[in-house]
A and B are shown apart, each in its own frame.
Chain A
């Protein structure tokens, strides 16, 4: 349907007649208004010509203005009494009928236009072929499309409108010969060259690029159109789709703008419905699709959406009826199943997505999109070989699809990965870091398995496949097919993918927390057959992180408190929107935290049994209303009231200390997505470029309960190394908002002050408090470990160092110290792990590292390993005497 709407406009764009140009009110002025989006003004002017029958030029402009505003019935009436075919407007009349959903009448008008052999005869032939295509008569339609190419080759397609039809024909034929995608682009470009002021070819170019996952080119082309006409409905819609593709939060506003101009823009309504569906707002999705069907009752896309909603809501009979209805109208409509596959995958129903995609390629063996979806979902389910084969089929049919290409390129690198198996997991780690990472990952994952299976009373099928990517771009490709994803990890149910700690700068994330988070998803997704809402699975995953280790999981930041204060946090009925349709960049991060606090609150007040009961409810297909009612006897409104009341009570003091200042996005975690927000360190929000200390001192004195002022003043003094004076405002800031552990936090600064003043115990206490909440503060972990070591608190030192490994396992000094501490306390198994890590890090002194590993193995009673390792040490340094002595001892020839 979208195609027809878009094609509509070009029919109205042929040169105006000489007669029209002679009139007092210039049709060229009206044309210009339409070009710049002044549709209402154009109509008004055309109406002002009352008493004067529209000639062909005026009629075209009137119909164009009316259709741009969605007034399809008025547009159809405009033709009353006119011999459209005779005027060369038969195609336009047919398209108006199509927009109103009357396909039969449209066919008749197209046929009449073709028979009249007028200026739109060639385009009429294309439109007839397109109608066949929509009915699934693909072979017949294909013949018609090739007819367009013949016309082009004969030089018969020489108007912009005809070139546009040629381009569209090539685009549709691209499924047979992918080279034709290039020809489509060429034809569109030629149409642009022939009539640079006509926006539609540029819209088509944008759509073609977006179809091939090249959003930057799509944006560029669409931006050209919108610069000229910011109210062009089709361009706005295509731009909204592009923005959605890029995760740009302006997508919704752009779509709203399109629908504001043309409320009957059927593809826009359907797109809106898909957005609702993606946010698990089924009722709104159905309503929006209903609006589309009010305009065009035969819309395949709108009916597909309704089928998807029915499927996701578990309304099996409705689903079957809708599915069968679509197939009755077009038995080859593979996009029914492709869209169902996409919707299923969006809702984490990967097995169902795979099965729908298989159905798509069954009814249309040339649905390259279907093969791509089939392959991707097979990969998500761990069926790598079949997934690769289907992606290769998809790519052979559509080699411009960067999504498929990237994934295949990534699969080509799988030979560089090593599989490491444990009791419940199968890790795939890049060969160059498998030796280092595997022991820690296996240990942590198995610990998570034990704890989570006990807590959830559920055991997912095993093995769970964990893919660890040293390149964030590879992780991103694995996840969404394109680079640029902000997330750290992703869970497809039985398959997890995550960034290796080497994929990001030290201090940007805690890989241990991320792994735990994703494993928790595996439990909640598989325990509910993936019917758990996004907010709940994320909330539980963050909650489980928080329970796993001190400091893991999201922390309360300033932005969260200001959002709470300003009523910007979403209620339980809308919280999914915060994940899938964020209205501002930080909303995803806030939603993660809020969802985790909701989960935490439920557990605290109703016990973990309530959580399990909720999971069971979702698994059984119950709505959130029913789930909350059954688990807690609370309506959603009551829940919101109680939960927000709890938040206000818990954080009331800190909120008051924030004063009226607006939230500063820089203070917050910016990235987000599956796997939790990135914890990249951000700018210190309390830093002022040229602070005026006198003014700050005065402000601090006058506002003793203002967190920001106290911190800003304290930091300014700290920077001046006036440590003794800085302590007081920093202590005040700390006490006003003790949960604040973000950039420029009081604990880090106070610890430094205490160190300078040789108040080591207080420095330790400050850093202890910090690392109990901040799992990415690398420098602070190391500083704390050093202080603990110096204080002789070696057990705690080892514990802090151990936790620092989840931030970065690449620091030789940390492993060395841990090994020494383990050795000194006769914990030889731990010493072996640490010495092995040092070897894996390829230290400068390899012979020594191997020798020390061998020694640890020897002391741990692992003589055979020790023998092999010491031989490796001697391979590097045959004359290294400590290694020689150890070897001699191991073979019974010691001195």
Chain B
């Protein structure tokens, strides 16, 4: 494992305890759904996007039994697709998720397909009877003590924000209203964000819901600008429970109940944490957390500081952080060596 991987791992161990709402060792679950394509090209496209996310989740450490894929056409990949994505199957799978997961777990639900919302309640088009946003909200209710990330990448998905918004839940839609009914590209970029870590902006080795959102948002914008076309989709993220999505969620650094804080903490996948952190590693990780907090504080003062002063102070902290990370890396490498020989499972970390 690289210096970076170890640092991320050790830091995650400390941060999860310190910041995230989920307990250390909480599990992640993923449900991916593709709706009715209507045309072969869309059916195949949605399947390709869904497959990328499924593979990214497996790559990120989710076990196969915790990754469920429902599709319009199971024959496209019978080994991976558990069942047809009818409304009944989907609701049954959410119910099964409720049973399978525990309080504090993270449940990811991603929808790829077409939607509608300009006439009647917002809906996601499924084979057979569609489910409307209120039905998803009702189905998710038993998961209220889990962290749910609900991403609807369909056209006209903006209407899902208000019905699904809830404290402790991240809701992402490809459009800002039910009226934006043109074909949406957002889903493809969401898939890309998770696949291969393209969305991992802070280079901590994993992609958060916020990072994926921002990546997809930016790439959609780039697509339309580059093609010289009029943009017809504006994605929203809601995670403060007020029912109003944000085009530009603030993230962790901002104060107050703004959108983006929770989404920045929810990461797709999980890594097996070292069985036991050494005292030295724990101390270094705590020191690291302290430096990061000081960096965040400094960044909040950026506007009021002279640029040179800011950079001088930032440099000091960044050098300090880099040196700690270097030590963490060395410490992690030692742990890895120890685990390789003494690990409980007798197998090294991936």
Contact of A879 among B204, B218, B229, B314 (CB under 8 A): B204
Q: Is A893 an interface residue (CB 8 A)?
A: yes
Which of B44-52, B272-280, B320-328 binds A?
B320-328
Shortest Cβ distance from B174 into chain A, in angstroms?
17
| Across-interface contacts of B299 in A (CB, < 8 A) | 875
Chain A count of residues within 8 A CB distance of the other chain: 34
Beta-carbon contact of A871 and B311 below 8 Å: yes
Beta-carbon contact of B325 and A881 below 8 Å: yes
| Across-interface contacts of B315 in A (CB, < 8 A) | 867, 871, 887, 891
Give the docked Cα–Cα distance between A884 and B3 (Å).
11
Q: A844-B199, A888-B322, A891-B319 are in contact. Are A868 and B227 (CB under 8 A)?
A: no
Most buried by B among A811, A871, A879: A879
Contact of A871 among B3, B198, B229, B314 (CB under 8 A): B314
| Across-interface contacts of A868 in B (CB, < 8 A) | 311
| Across-interface contacts of B325 in A (CB, < 8 A) | 879, 881, 884
Q: Is B225 an interface residue (CB 8 A)?
A: yes
Which of B4-12, B76-84, B179-187, B258-266 binds A?
B4-12
Q: Is A874 an interface residue (CB 8 A)?
A: yes
Shortest Cβ distance from B11 into chain A, in angstroms?
7
List B residues 273-294 near A (Cβ within 8 Å). 292
Contact with B along A860-895 (1 / 0, CB 8 A): 000000011001001111111100110110010101
Shortest Cβ distance from B272 into chain A, in angstroms?
20
Give the docked Cα–Cα distance between A508 and B227 (Å).
11
| Across-interface contacts of A893 in B (CB, < 8 A) | 319, 323
Beta-carbon contact of A879 and B319 below 8 Å: no
List A residues 320-363 near B (Cβ within 8 Å). none
| Across-interface contacts of A867 in B (CB, < 8 A) | 311, 315
Q: Is A443 an interface residue (CB 8 A)?
A: no
B6 to chain A: closest residue by CB:
A881
B314 to chain A: closest residue by CB:
A871
Main secondary structure, interface of B, reads helix
Shortest Cβ distance from B300 into chain A, in angstroms?
12
Give the docked Cα–Cα distance between A492 and B190 (Å).
47
Beta-carbon contact of B225 and A810 below 8 Å: yes
List A residues 840-854 near B (Cβ within 8 Å). 841-842, 844-848
Q: Is A816 an interface residue (CB 8 A)?
A: no
Which of A415-423, A499-507, A779-787 binds B?
A499-507
Give the docked Cα–Cα distance between A876 and B203 (Å).
9
Shortest Cβ distance from A712 into chain B, in angstroms?
30
Give the docked Cα–Cα distance between A366 and B292 (Å).
65
Q: A879-B8, A893-B323 are in contact. Are A811 and B226 (CB under 8 A)?
A: yes
Q: Is B145 an interface residue (CB 8 A)?
A: no
Shortest Cβ distance from A156 into chain B, in angstroms?
53
Q: A871-B314, A880-B4 are in contact. Are A502 and B323 (CB under 8 A)?
A: no
Give the docked Cα–Cα distance between A506 and B224 (Å).
11
List A residues 814-845 near B (Cβ within 8 Å). 841-842, 844-845
| Across-interface contacts of B346 in A (CB, < 8 A) | none
Beta-carbon contact of A845 and B319 below 8 Å: no
| Across-interface contacts of A67 in B (CB, < 8 A) | none
Shortest Cβ distance from B319 into chain A, in angstroms?
6
Beta-carbon contact of A875 and B314 below 8 Å: yes
Beta-carbon contact of A879 and B203 below 8 Å: yes
Contact with A along B63-107 (1 / 0, CB 8 A): 000000000000000000000000000000000000000000000
Q: Is A808 an interface residue (CB 8 A)?
A: yes
Contact with A along B301-343 (1 / 0, CB 8 A): 0000000000100110011011101100100000000000000
Beta-carbon contact of A879 and B318 below 8 Å: no
Give the docked Cα–Cα distance between A6 and B329 (Å).
90
Beta-carbon contact of A881 and B319 below 8 Å: no
Shortest Cβ distance from A222 into chain B, in angstroms?
32
Beta-carbon contact of B226 and A808 below 8 Å: yes
| Across-interface contacts of B202 in A (CB, < 8 A) | 847, 876-880
Contact with A along B21-45 (1 / 0, CB 8 A): 0000000000000000000000000
Give the docked Cα–Cα distance between A358 and B315 (Å).
57
Contact of A505 among B8, B201, B227, B322 (CB under 8 A): B227
Contact of B228 among A504, A842, A884 (CB under 8 A): A504
| Across-interface contacts of A845 in B (CB, < 8 A) | 198, 200-201
* Besides A841-B222, A867-B315, A888-B322, 8 other A-B contacts (C-beta < 8 A): A844-B219, A845-B200, A877-B204, A879-B7, A879-B204, A880-B4, A880-B202, A887-B318
15 A-B contact pairs sorted by A residue (CB < 8 Å)? A502-B228, A505-B227, A506-B228, A508-B228, A810-B225, A844-B201, A844-B215, A844-B219, A877-B204, A878-B292, A878-B318, A880-B203, A881-B329, A888-B323, A891-B315
